[in-house]
Amino acid sequence: MNELKQICKDALSEKKARFIIGYKEDKNKRIKPFIAKTPEDAEQLTFNHHAVNNLAVYLPRFKNNVEGKIGIVVKSCDLKAVTALIQENQIKRDDLFIIGVNCSGVVLDIAKEFNKDNTQIKCKYCQAKTPPYYDALADESKDFEMPDDDQAELMAKIDKMTSDERLEFWNAEFEKCIKCYACRQVCPMCYCEKCIVEKSEPQWIDTSSTARGNFSWNIIRAFHMAGRCIGCHECERACPMGIPLTLLTRKMGMVASSEFGYRHGMSLTEPTLIGTYSTSDKEDFIK
């Protein structure tokens, strides 16, 4: 803990960053995002199993930054979002002071203690406890045995269904959608100034919360994340209706990996999946 605080304090006093986006504990012992502007502020910065938020969501607003570096505390999953945002011109690497933290998992329900039954899905299959790159690294990891990846089991189950059963499954899920767009707001990759769902001339998606509109919205959202989703699972966490949104985004990530050997947000130099092509991309489905 002291290590993170010390790194941030030093960064602010040495002007390596003009402020640091991190986490603090509030009066109710809840962890929430916090911006430390002075070395004194840095005293309040903290990190633990309850630091679920992906802070990269704040970065696009600094894309025309001219003043000085922005410090940000990131888990390895969050760093993928930072990478993707750099690749998509939403922030410059030179404008960032990245403080990586070694993470050993975060909670699913922030009101409860971290334990085997209260672990984010993404942590169950996380392969990089340490961010792949950073400007400073704080070690906050603790030994913890990860529970089984039950989402993968569910995905395998869906894969085995007939297409009509799958359609039924998803219709039942999408029926819950109230079109609040929390999934979009919380997503670090959803930085568009005007979302496609807000386009009215022409209207792309029925905005009313009907089966058809919900269906289109969720498909299009998932497609817009294909090859771009970095798997932070914030959408599902934010969804008030409990729709298993990450089933879709994770599926698209798996397709990207199996069809193209691609994993988004892992490297700053690897070209993006969308926007590039290979002449040998699979086409066995094209007659």
Between the alpha carbon of residue 217 and those of residues 28, 210, 222, 227, the distances in Å are 36, 10, 8, 18
| Residue 229 engages other proteins in binding (rule: CB under 8 A) | no
Interacting residue with other proteins among 3, 109, 206, 270 (CB under 8 A):
206
Site for other proteins in 83-102 (CB under 8 A): 88-90
Interacting residue with other proteins among 100, 227, 231, 265 (CB under 8 A):
227
Q: Shortest distance, CB of residue 32 to other proteins, whole angstroms?
A: 27
Between the alpha carbon of residue 156 and those of residues 36, 89, 161, 204, 232, the distances in Å are 44, 36, 9, 32, 21
Binding mask 41-70 for other proteins (x = CB under 8 A): -------------------x--xx-x----
Main-chain dihedrals φ then ψ at residue 218, nearest 5 degrees = -70, -35
Interacting residue with other proteins among 112, 185, 257, 277 (CB under 8 A):
277
Which runs of E-coded beta strand occur in 54-195?
70-74, 96-102, 136-139
Interacting residue with other proteins among 142, 178, 223, 257 (CB under 8 A):
223
**How many other CB atoms are found less than 10 A from the CB of residue 102?**
18
Q: Please identify, using beta-carbon distances, which residue of 220 and 241 lies nearer to other proteins.
A: 220
Residue 220's contacts (CB-CB under 8 Å, 6 or more residues apart) are 196, 197, 204, 205
User: Mapping DSSP to helix (H, G, I), strand (E, B) and coil, where does residue 228 land?
Assistant: coil
Q: Please identify, using beta-carbon distances, which residue of 143 and 281 lies nearer to other proteins.
A: 281
| Residue 216 engages other proteins in binding (rule: CB under 8 A) | yes
| Residue 242 engages other proteins in binding (rule: CB under 8 A) | no
Between the alpha carbon of residue 201 and those of residues 8, 124, 206, 265, the distances in Å are 47, 43, 12, 33
Do residues 23 and 32 touch, judged by C-beta distance below 8 A?
yes
Spatial CA neighbour of 120 closest among 54, 24, 46, 52? 52
Judged by CB under 8 A, the stretch of 103-111, 127-135, 219-227, 237-245 that binds other proteins is 219-227
Contact residues for other proteins (CB under 8 A)? 60, 63-64, 66, 88-90, 158-159, 161, 163-171, 191-196, 199, 201-202, 204-206, 208, 210-213, 215-216, 219-220, 222-224, 226-227, 248, 251-252, 255-256, 259-260, 271-279, 281-283, 285-287
